[in-house]
Amino acid sequence: MTKTHDEPDQLATDDELASTQTPTGVSHKIPAPEATRPLKIQWQYAIVLVLVHLAALLAFDGWFFTWSGLIVGIAGHFVFGMFGITIGYHRLLTHRGFTCPVWLERTLAILGMCNLQDSPARWVAIHRMHHQHSDKQPDPHSPLVSFLWGHVGWVVCRHQELDTTRHYERYVRDLLRDRFYLQLERRQGWFFVFVAHAAVLIGIGAGFGYLVSGGVSGEAWRYAASWAVWAVAVRTVFVLHGTWSVNSLAHLFGYRNYETRDESTNNWLVALISHGEGWHNNHHAEPRSAAHGHRWWEYDMSWWIIRSWEMVGLAKDVVRPKCMQTQDEN
Ligand SMILES: [Zn+2]
Ligand SMILES: [Zn+2]
């Protein structure tokens, strides 16, 4: 396995902290990764992302609004976004911040695929590459190229390395030893998981609308459309921008607890919308730690979930940051 992170650094003193408050004062730019030249659009990604954003915009039309669609959308932000991406793809599969039974790991991976954020192996490989080269030219999504590049540009532009066998061999050999993840790569299975989950949600929405309207088929259609917009499109777009903001905002704006060798920051807004991922400077300092909030007020719901799993024996080998180890010893 490739070394994916820097060594943990020391907590900055209060004086040092004061000098690194918002913004971090990033003044230098870096070029986009060599492997993205010449710039070419990955049309399959671009088209799907444009379509899901257009579908989400229908939320501004009141005809599509139902309370049930909104509530399922908010619940989905936690079920798919937090359990799937934050806990599953990131803290478990990428960094192995804890271990858990195979059924739980795969459930989290399946929930992750329902967010239109690529297969588990491709996501993990890109993220490990990011940790290895953070804010240097080979970093696939540094916002030091430009904010737009770090946020979404890198997703829709072709990167010649990311789909090569060499890249997968180098970064996710461990994951691809499991046939479950290998199959998902071979048949673009992850995308069908996304489509299937959307179809199931829309179907449930139609059934729910039919029931609450006392059997009016027009209402069944309206509820189906509402759930498609709110529970699938709006929620997917919200989770996408939450994840992308970790790559963009949390490498540009915020404060730093640690002097890492990159521009990562702790950003409360990003932490709020991504269930704790916004404490990104903490994360770059101690990438394997399952807890990203290192100070008592750094909200990290994903860590509370992992901690509760540990208490009931579902999560084991939970990696803690140094500051928590010290607290535990005291
Ligand atoms: Zn980062
Ligand atoms: Zn990470």
Residues 32 and 175 sit within 8 Å (Cβ to Cβ): no
d(CA 132, CA 155): 19
5 pLDDT band, cuts 50/70/90, is: very low
Cα of 234 vs centre of ligand 1, distance in Å, is 25
Residues 255 and 20 sit within 8 Å (Cβ to Cβ): yes
Which residues are 157's β-sheet partners? 41
Cα of 61 vs centre of ligand 2, distance in Å, is 37
d(CA 240, CA 84): 12
Cα of 312 vs centre of ligand 1, distance in Å, is 31
Which ligand is closest in space to the CA of residue 264?
1
**In terms of residues, how long is the chain?**
330
Choose between 23 and 142: higher pLDDT.
Answer: 142
In the predicted model, is pLDDT for residue 17 greater than 90? Answer: no
In the predicted model, is pLDDT for residue 9 greater than 60? Answer: no
The pLDDT score that the predictor gives to residue 216 is 87
Cα of 220 vs centre of ligand 2, distance in Å, is 42
The pLDDT score that the predictor gives to residue 326 is 64
Cα of 131 vs centre of ligand 2, distance in Å, is 7
Which structure tokens are listed for 226?
A: 């509402």
d(CA 319, CA 330): 18
């997703």: which residue's tokens? 155
The pLDDT score that the predictor gives to residue 259 is 95
27 pLDDT band, cuts 50/70/90, is: low
Radius of gyration of the CA atoms of the chain, in A: 20
Cα of 142 vs centre of ligand 2, distance in Å, is 13
d(CA 148, CA 317): 38
Which ligand is closest in space to the CA of residue 260?
1
Q: What is the mean pLDDT of residues 305-312?
A: 98
Each residue's pLDDT tens digit, 90-143: 999 999 999 999 999 999 999 999 999 999 999 999 999 999 999 999 999 999
Cα of 196 vs centre of ligand 1, distance in Å, is 31
The pLDDT score that the predictor gives to residue 215 is 86
Could you give phi then psi for residue 126, rounded to 5 degrees? -65, -40
Dihedral sign of CA atoms 44, 50, 54, 57 in order: positive
325 pLDDT band, cuts 50/70/90, is: confident
| Cα 115 to chain centroid, rounded | 9
Q: What is the mean pLDDT of residues 72-85?
A: 98
Each residue's pLDDT tens digit, 172-230: 999 999 999 999 988 788 999 999 999 999 999 999 999 999 988 899 999 999 999 99
Which ligand is closest in space to the CA of residue 127?
2
The pLDDT score that the predictor gives to residue 178 is 95
Residues 202 and 227 sit within 8 Å (Cβ to Cβ): yes
Cα of 130 vs centre of ligand 1, distance in Å, is 7
Residues 135 and 251 sit within 8 Å (Cβ to Cβ): yes
d(CA 142, CA 249): 10
Cα of 125 vs centre of ligand 2, distance in Å, is 11
The pLDDT score that the predictor gives to residue 238 is 98
The pLDDT score that the predictor gives to residue 18 is 32
Cβ-based neighbours of 4, under 8 Å, separated by 6 or more: 95, 128, 131, 132, 287
Output the DSSP codes for 225-246. HHHIIIIIIIHHHHHHHHHHHH
Cα of 89 vs centre of ligand 1, distance in Å, is 15
When the pLDDT of each residue in the chain is averaged and rounded to a whole number, the result is: 91
Residues 290 and 98 sit within 8 Å (Cβ to Cβ): yes
Which structure tokens are listed for 234?
A: 């709006």
Q: Is 74 helix (H, G, I), strand (E, B) or coil?
A: helix
Cα of 207 vs centre of ligand 2, distance in Å, is 40
61-75, 158-172, 271-285: the lowest-pLDDT one: 158-172
The pLDDT score that the predictor gives to residue 40 is 94
pTM assigned to the model: 0.89
51 pLDDT band, cuts 50/70/90, is: very high
Which ligand is closest in space to the CA of residue 247?
1
d(CA 82, CA 87): 6
Counting Cβ atoms within 10 Å, is residue 137 exposed (0-12), middle (13-18) or buried (19+)? middle
